[in-house]
Amino acid sequence: MNPIERLSALFERFPGIGPRQAQRFVQFLLRSSPTVRRELMESVRELGSSVHQCPECMRFSAGGKGLCSICTDAHRDFSLLAVIASDVDLLALERSSTYRGRYFVLGGLISLASEKTSGLRVTELLASLSKRSEAGLAEIILAFPANPEGDATAIRIREELAGPAQVSGIKISTLGRGLSTGSELEYADPDTLKSALDNRK
């Protein structure tokens, strides 16, 4: 496999990228200046050295090791915890400027084909509940996309959380249907996200 084919194959591994789009990326890089290619290589290299996962919310964060800027923000509402599928969903909620609670990034959604939670951070979420409850956690918002995978994940996570949440007196809610069925959080506009948060149940 030559370098062009190898790079195309790597781009094809990206979510939502097919062979034609991967080839366009490679052609763009071939036409780009050496400076652009060097910047791309350095940025990819830095991902491994300067980006880490926050041990509390599990999102990826640039900077030093330890808690991210959201988890260290004393002005956040400790009584609310939004459980979300990915970092992209966190960014969408932050852009809406309507949610000021804390987050937990689950790391994906349940696949309808397997219905297994392997690869998801369910164990880490459950392990954090006691500490979060002591800090004043009162409500967990299951903020997953309004699609079959999101619904299946919400049902399963609600089941996993039910016992510990009941013991600690923590309410479990889901986003209201300000989001149309099939909607991804990352594409929702701020008003729609605000409606979904306001109408959670």
CATH code of 37's domain: 1.10.8.420
Cα–Cα distances in Å, from 83 out to 13, 153, 171? 26, 11, 13
Between these two residues, 180 and 19, which has the higher pLDDT value? Answer: 19
Supply the mean pLDDT for the chain: 88
Tokens of 171: 């309410």
Which residues form the domain of 29?
3-53
Between these two residues, 62 and 42, which has the higher pLDDT value? Answer: 42
Residues 34, 129, single domain; the answer is no
* β pairing state of 139-142 and 60-62: unpaired
Residues 190, 111, single domain; the answer is yes
CATH code of 151's domain: 3.40.1360.10
Please give the Cα distance from 28 to 21 (Å, whole number). Answer: 11
Residues 88, 165, single domain; the answer is yes
Residues 102, 193, single domain; the answer is yes
Judge whether 47 lies within some domain.
yes
- Residue 179 clears pLDDT 70, i.e. is over it: no
Alpha carbon distance, N-terminus to C-terminus of the chain? 53
Tokens of 180: 């149309």
Please give the Cα distance from 61 to 53 (Å, whole number). Answer: 6
Partners of 77 in the β-ladder = 101
Judge whether 165 lies within some domain.
yes
Query: pLDDT tens, 122-139?
Result: 999 999 999 999 999 999
Residues 121, 160, single domain; the answer is yes
Between these two residues, 115 and 147, which has the higher pLDDT value? Answer: 147
Judge whether 129 lies within some domain.
yes
Q: How confident is the model at residue 180 (pLDDT cuts 50, 70, 90)?
A: low
Count of the separate structural domains present in the chain: 2
